[in-house]
Amino acid sequence: MRLAGKRCLVTAAAQGIGEATARAFAEEGAEVWATDINEGKLAALANLRGIKTSRLDVLRDEEISQIGKRVGPIDVLFNCAGFVHHGTVLDATDEEWRFAFDLNVRSMFWTIRTFLPGMLASGKGGSIINVASAASSIKGAPLRFVYGSTKAALRKAKIRLSITSTAQSEISRPMKRSAIQAPVALTAQATRLIRNPAMTRRRWR
């Protein structure tokens, strides 16, 4: 029970990496708030031990503020919501660029500014995990012009802890949405980092 006593909030937890993370955090003893806009899918987590569910659209600052008040101080913020734009620089529209940056980058700024004060006030700190991607400043992936730009922005942000770069070495094949391996590897790494923040400082300073 490596996360016993920890309070965690996960965005985009109705499926994929967010869902796997919410489940893994709860299995490790955390009290988890699993949030998403897809309340139908989120319902599958509602009866699991250690998990509370709530609608949260991370594009809406007022919803983030409201859930911040409802949940109170947390130890772990797992910022997972993200959108993959498919195409080159010549395909992308202004609207797609704006939407991708709003969801993949600005939403994390908003959730951090809501939950970080509580972590600081607690005196015991906390962990903020912004899910980035290898398709970013690490490498240029084909047809990922907009997506890679957003994830590169995350990796370069001052407040960031990109689990993707550290998880890469554990994943021996390309990560796909349907691949069970990717969420499991990412989640295992995430829980290790939460348990031992010194590891992150040592390896990724």
Question: Which residues of this chain interact with ligand NAD, rule CB under 6 A?
Answer: 11-12, 14-18, 36-38, 56-59, 80-82, 103, 131, 133, 164, 175-177, 182
Choose between 29 and 138: whose C-beta lies nearer to ligand NAD.
138
What distance in Å separates the CA atoms of residue 144 and residue 135, rounded to the nearest whole number?
A: 7
Q: Minimum CB separation from ligand NAD for residue 74, in Å? A: 17
Nearest to residue 166, comparing CAs of 119, 130, 126?
A: 130
CA angle 188–175–167, rounded 5-degree value: 35
Q: Which of 107, 147, 151, 153 is catalytic?
A: 147
Determine whether 147 is an active site residue. Answer: yes
Choose between 116 and 138: whose C-beta lies nearer to ligand NAD.
138
Q: Minimum CB separation from ligand NAD for residue 135, in Å? A: 7
Asked if residues 53 and 45 have their Cβ atoms less than 8 Å apart, the reply is yes
In sign, the C-alpha dihedral spanning 152, 66, 36, 94 is negative
Q: Minimum CB separation from ligand NAD for residue 198, in Å? A: 25
Choose between 98 and 177: whose C-beta lies nearer to ligand NAD.
177
CA angle 166–180–195, rounded 5-degree value: 40
Choose between 12 and 193: whose C-beta lies nearer to ligand NAD.
12
Using DSSP's 3-state secondary structure scheme, residue 134 falls into coil
Q: Minimum CB separation from ligand NAD for residue 201, in Å? A: 23
Give catalytic residues, as residue numbers: 147
